[in-house]
Chain A
């Protein structure tokens, strides 16, 4: 590929205690969580939650040490250009794996809407099993309710998160949130441009601003969830509409939380330790790619969950 490249030693770290403790932490986390969930479902008391928290603390502490160490090594100049490229590849493929994770849920939404519900709502399935259930989207009256002759508590567009019509967009929360998130992608880009010019002041400002926007986005989402649960009766248990709505937006929200946290850490690094320059800013760049990815997923959500919802 690249010709005549100067040879630099590739940094292979010494023995490290981090991975084994990270594995232990991960194990305790999921083992505790598993026990906790089973205890909740069986309505029993148990130690699940303790183990879970313990594991989480271990994992978080190890990851903190791990990242600090990687940063240290970088500052000491151990990282060759080639190693930095490894990090770039690593982050890139990690984001691709996240894309595929979301693809599974988008795929599920597509399948349920376009294949399953039509099947449930017509022919012998509808007549023989579900008391002439008719399918529509968003699904408010589930097959089960049709079977028992129940009707949805609230119907009509007000009952869903769906598109209220273009004229009302400016007061439509999901649209506002879209605007917030897209602006945050722009501001993080401005932060990047500032860094390229080594304008650290502007960098810190725009990065901090991005974190703020991320935080506002999350607050709006929490508000929206509360509204769905308390005012609309739209819950995780309300059939596939609630299921797909909360799972897609929920996982996205989790990723926004992660992304905001990552950017916040980079901001702290820059403000308190003076890290990052135009030639050395992988931590920031990786976080910003992640942020753009989260943003793109949101656009997908906005189209498929909200506008077409």
Chain B
């Protein structure tokens, strides 16, 4: 087994190697990030001014829908799976993922699924236009014919996620090197263990709800049709039972990444390791009992409204524990501010701001004013863009030397950071204001009252997009060449992945290392 990768492009098609598969996941997700970002730019271009200039309303809705879907399922989730593929085996001292062939299958389903989803843009009637939350009956009785392909795309990408998650759990539970007890695992591994559990618990529910849609559309059932005794609100309950844990699926691994980076550059061990583990588990647990906070206005009884409000507010506590632990890790450290650290610090600040707006949304009576406005859009972009995306970016800078053997250009990395940081705040901060001032989301055109904020947002979006082009350039340049990286790469790095040479050999830990 001590051989290298196969020659030619079939290496990528047939590979069973966790590093190859991790790289493919990451590249795929990068491509999807650009595609989803392109859709976002269409949205922002149309919203630059009041009036309809560039696209028609129906197409605008398709852009919003595809942007949400592609970013969530195509960019963020695969990126984290890619990181898990690369890092989990190396962090726990395993030779590979537990089920290597299935691992490749999990990956290769995705390009097919997204090709099918993207192809709906060219079908008669157009792509899905009912929002990434696809509420029935807009997505059933009133949907374009392409909804059928959307449903099957969700089915197979769900299958991919479930297989990926099973693989990660089996790897973590079964493949740790001797001595690597659960409470010695790096936090990234812990957060992924819990995320994988969430995935297996909720992706089948998503599959269930799209199956109900399929039946309503093609076989005349009445799950979501009051005429037959069904209920459109049932759709929302089932969807959000998946949907809320889904947003934590997109943030827990990010917590893990940041918990790896901050101690490295503060040169001080992570503060409160075990409380971090418990906090992650508590967030995961709570995520199952808060879903209806997305539905405060659907007319639930008062009692339900209150229960979901209280439960949602509770999430602030374990999340706060995490934030406080990161801050205390930095406290009395010896800090330097390389690019990964900059992105991580921005993560802590901006994610917290996003969390605060989340807490405001959780207050049901106030949510009656916030719901379905740009305030919500501001909230979730603050937790997703400087949250998920920044953590992924930080992870790439942090581990790229290990993957490629070369150091990235620090000046360019910092330029990328500042461009992205500014672009992002310029894009999304004004959305708080337009939202509070009453601008609904998912509209292609709006009253001039909100014109200024929208113009600023649009400018910021293009700036942020340009920053991502720079990122692509930096990554490619680093892979091609550059200063050679040492095995440790960072002065303050700890953990098994830093004990192997850079670039990491094709097969690592064929014999498990001894962990003390």
State yes or no: do A and B touch (Cβ within 8 Å). yes
Query: Which A residues lie at the B interface, using CB under 8 A?
Result: 1, 5, 7, 9-10, 12-20, 22-24, 26-27, 30-31, 33-34, 37-38, 40-42, 66, 82-83, 85-87, 89-90, 93-94, 96-98, 100-101, 103-105, 107-108, 111-112, 115-117, 119-120, 129-130, 135, 139, 142-144, 147, 236-243, 246-247
Chain B contacts to A: CB under 8 angstroms: 1, 6, 10-11, 13-17, 94-96, 98-102, 104-105, 107-109, 111-113, 116, 145, 148-149, 151-153, 155-156, 159, 162, 165-167, 169-171, 173-176, 178, 181, 200-205, 207-209, 212, 214-215, 217-223, 226-231, 233-234, 237-238, 241, 507, 510-512
Contact A9 B510 (CB under 8 A): yes
> Are the C-beta atoms of B95 and A10 separated by less than 8 Å?
yes
CB-defined contacts of B205 to chain A, threshold 8 Å: 100-101, 103-104
In contact, A94 and B234 (Cβ under 8 angstroms) = no
B215: chain A residues within 8 A (beta carbon): 236, 243, 247
Q: List 28 A-B residue pairs with CB atoms under 8 Å apart, sorted by A's residue number.
A: A1-B176, A5-B178, A9-B95, A12-B16, A14-B16, A15-B15, A24-B112, A26-B159, A27-B116, A34-B148, A34-B151, A86-B170, A89-B98, A97-B162, A107-B237, A108-B208, A112-B230, A139-B229, A144-B228, A147-B227, A236-B215, A239-B229, A239-B230, A240-B222, A243-B215, A243-B221, A247-B215, A247-B221
Q: How far is the CA of A5 from the CA of B219 in the complex (A)?
A: 55
The answer to whether B1 touches A15 (Cβ under 8 A) is no
Least distance between B379 CB and chain A CB atoms (Å): 27
B1 lies within 8 A of A9 (CB): yes
- Give every chain A residue within 8 A of B201 (Cβ-Cβ): 96-97, 100
The reply to whether A143 and B108 contact each other, CB–CB distance below 8 Å, is no
Task: Beyond the given A87-B99, A242-B221, please list 18 additional residue pairs across the A-B interface where CB-CB is below 8 A.
Answer: A7-B511, A15-B11, A18-B101, A23-B112, A30-B116, A34-B148, A38-B145, A83-B98, A97-B162, A103-B205, A103-B208, A107-B238, A139-B229, A237-B219, A243-B223, A246-B221, A247-B215, A247-B221
Q: Is the CB of A93 within 8 A of B166?
A: yes
Which residues does chain A contribute within 8 Å of B153, judged by CB atoms? Answer: 30
CA distance A304 to B99 in the complex (A): 37
Contact A143 B228 (CB under 8 A): yes
Question: In the complex, which residues of chain B have a beta carbon less than 8 angstroms from the beta carbon of A130?
Answer: 226
What is the CB-to-nearest-CB distance from B2 to chain A, in angstroms, rounded to a whole number?
A: 11
Q: Are B16 and A100 in contact, CB atoms less than 8 angstroms apart?
A: no
User: Chain B residues with Cβ under 8 A from A5's Cβ?
Assistant: 178
Q: Do A240 and B170 touch across chains, with their CB atoms under 8 A apart?
A: no
Is B98's CB under 8 angstroms from A108's CB? no
- Interface contact A15-B222, CB-CB below 8 Å: no
The answer on a CB contact under 8 Å between A101 and B1 is no
Q: List the B side residues contacting A139 at CB < 8 Å.
A: 229
Please measure, in the bound complex, the distance between the C-alpha atom of A20 and the C-alpha atom of B110, giving whole angstroms: 11
Docked-complex contact A16 and B204, CB < 8 angstroms: no
